[in-house]
């Protein structure tokens, strides 16, 4: 088995590549990644290099994709612009990568006659006050990010419907764990807490997310890739649902920070109030989330505390300017 993993140098993609190679000792992986601000070659450290090929390139580039896909038995697409706040400021890149890039990958997988698994998000369903979204819930995305992801999903479904392509979609709730870029709530809070910086909480902090440890999501992707029925969608939700303010307080306790550093700031435009997924269809394939939030968040805080060599280059680079422009204050040196 040889997989093409697009976006394999990002947070979840690199977790997937490492764990996929670990549990499949005969498998090989080609990673295709553009190495945007969110992707780093060093995220793949610890993966078995002998069975890993790395191609630096853009999923929108037809020739690069055609070269990378050669000899592969399936594609898994993680490549995307992934941050909601950045999509609100500049939607163009999201449409180009998350929609057009998905189209290029689909064409290449169709030409090669191989399975395509699209990694998607609960955000395509929009916000839900009560209960949980199932795979048949209508798509109702709120942000340019989630609309772009929905566009990618619709192309995957259309390629199945029109060409009979062997394609699948997995839609996950909020992931967290080691190597997540600090633009996202959990690593941002951990690093700010470790530096004594204020913690920016949007609005009233009562927005609810369904937290999923990235390794659990990656085990779900492996199960769906192997057992999923062509043309189907599979939801993968985390075991714990929490308001943001509780997440922030839990991190402050673990990182030794003070709740006095919490700063309520202007809300995100069009902010979805609550996400919730039913995972029963994926559980029907034998998958279960194994890491409860209490354990996963303790492991995550410990990883960031122990790995300044990973985040120091990020905090001194593009992220510094991004943070200053977005939050109106500098991060600590
Ligand atoms: P990430 O931003 O950490 O990683 C994205 C990766 O894609 C990076 O390595 C980046 O370099 C690469 N990339 C971006 N544009 C590219 C292009 N044009 N060509 C090639 N590579 C490109 O994102 P993540 O959090 O790891 O998310 C991975 C996928 O999972 C995304 O598709 C995202 O929509 C989806 N998802 C994420 C979450 C979450 O909570 N993080 C939840 C559900 C679904
Ligand atoms: O639900 C799945 C999605 O989860 C993925 O599809 C996205 O790729 C991923 O980025 C994530 O989106 P969110 O917008 O939910 O994640 P983020 O970490 O940006 O924000 C989580 C919550 O925390 C959200 O309600 C906004 C809030 N927040 C975020 C930041 C960055 C704050 O209150 N303050 C902040 O500074």
Reported as a single tens digit per residue, the pLDDT across 164-193 is 999 999 999 999 999 999 999 999 999 999
Which residue is listed with tokens 């030794």? 256
Instruction: Indicate which residue's Cα is closest to atom 11 of ligand 2.
Output: 174
Run of H or E residues at 158: helix 144-163
Domain regions of the chain by residue span: 2-175+211-236, 181-209+239-269+297-327
Token pair recorded at residue 272 = 């979805």
Reported as a single tens digit per residue, the pLDDT across 132-167 is 999 999 999 999 999 999 999 999 999 999 999 999
User: How far is the C-alpha of 217 from the C-alpha of 203, rounded, in Å?
Assistant: 29
Instruction: Indicate which residue's Cα is closest to atom 29 of ligand 2.
Output: 185
pLDDT at 333 over 90: no
Q: Does ligand 1 have an atom closer than 6 angstroms to the CB of 86?
A: no
Ligand 2 binding pocket, CB closer than 6 Å: 82-84, 121-123, 173-174, 184-185, 188, 200-202, 207, 209, 244, 268, 275
Q: Does ligand 1 have an atom closer than 6 angstroms to the CB of 13?
A: yes
| Topology, domain 2-175+211-236 | Rossmann fold (3.40.50)
pLDDT of 11:
98
Please name which ligand lies nearest the alpha carbon of 149.
Answer: 1
Whether 145 is catalytic: yes
Please name which ligand lies nearest the alpha carbon of 40.
Answer: 1
pLDDT at 220 over 90: yes
Distance 83 CA to ligand 2 centre (A): 7
Instruction: Indicate which residue's Cα is closest to atom 28 of ligand 2.
Output: 185
Residues 6 or more apart in contact with residue 310 via CB below 8 angstroms: 42, 179, 304
Reported as a single tens digit per residue, the pLDDT across 14-66 is 999 999 999 999 999 999 999 999 999 999 999 999 999 999 999 999 999 99
Instruction: Indicate which residue's Cα is closest to atom 19 of ligand 2.
Output: 184
User: How far is the C-alpha of 101 from the C-alpha of 189, rounded, in Å?
Assistant: 31
Token pair recorded at residue 159 = 């390629």
Reported as a single tens digit per residue, the pLDDT across 72-112 is 999 999 999 999 999 999 999 999 999 999 999 999 999 99
Distance 7 CA to ligand 1 centre (A): 6
Distance 218 CA to ligand 1 centre (A): 13
Considering the domain delimited by 181-209+239-269+297-327, tell me its CATH architecture: Alpha-Beta Complex (3.90)
Specify the pTM.
0.98
Which residue is listed with tokens 């993993």? 5
Sheet strands (E) in the chain: 2-6, 28-33, 52-56, 74-77, 115-121, 167-172, 175-176, 199-202, 208-213, 233-236, 240-243, 262-265
Nearest 10 degrees: CA dihedral of 306, 308, 311, 315?
A: 140
CA 53 to chain centroid, in Å, comes to 21
Identify the active-site residue in 58, 81, 98, 145.
145
């Amino acid at each position: 088995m040889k997989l093409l993993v697009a976006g394999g140098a990002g947070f979840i993609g690199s977790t997937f590549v490492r764990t996929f190679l670990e549990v499949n000792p005969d498998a090989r992986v080609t990673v295709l990644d553009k190495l945007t601000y969110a992707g780093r070659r060093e995220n793949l450290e610890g993966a078995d290099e002998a069975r890993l090929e790395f191609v630096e390139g853009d999923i929108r580039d037809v020739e690069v994709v055609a070269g990378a896909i050669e000899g592969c038995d399936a594609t898994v697409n993680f490549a995307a612009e992934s941050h909601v706040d950045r999509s609100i400021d500049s939607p163009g890149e999201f449409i180009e990568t998350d929609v057009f890039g998905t189209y290029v990958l689909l064409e290449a997988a169709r030409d090669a006659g191989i399975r395509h698994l699209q990694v998607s998000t609960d955000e395509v369903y929009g916000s839900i006050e009560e209960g949980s979204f199932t795979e048949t819930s209508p798509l109702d995305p709120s942000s340019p990010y989630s609309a772009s992801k929905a566009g990618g999903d619709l192309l995957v479904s259309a390629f199945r419907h029109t060409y009979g392509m062997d394609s699948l979609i997995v839609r996950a709730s909020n992931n967290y764990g080691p190597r997540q870029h600090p633009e996202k709530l959990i690593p941002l809070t951990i690093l700010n807490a470790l530096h004594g910086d204020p913690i920016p909480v949007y609005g009233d902090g009562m927005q609810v997310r369904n937290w999923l440890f990235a390794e659990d999501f990656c085990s779900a992707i492996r199960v769906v890739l192997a057992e999923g029925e062509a043309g189907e969608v599979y939801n993968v939700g985390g075991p714990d649902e929490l308001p943001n303010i509780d997440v922030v307080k839990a991190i402050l306790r673990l990182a030794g920070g003070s709740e006095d550093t919490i700063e309520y700031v202007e809300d995100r435009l069009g902010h979805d109030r609550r996400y919730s997924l039913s995972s029963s269809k994926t559980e029907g394939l034998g998958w279960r989330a194994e890491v409860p939030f209490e354990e996963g968040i303790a492991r995550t805080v410990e990883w960031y505390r122990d790995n300044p060599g990973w985040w120091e280059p990020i905090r001194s680079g593009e992220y510094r300017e991004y943070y200053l422009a977005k939050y109106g204050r500098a991060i600590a040196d």
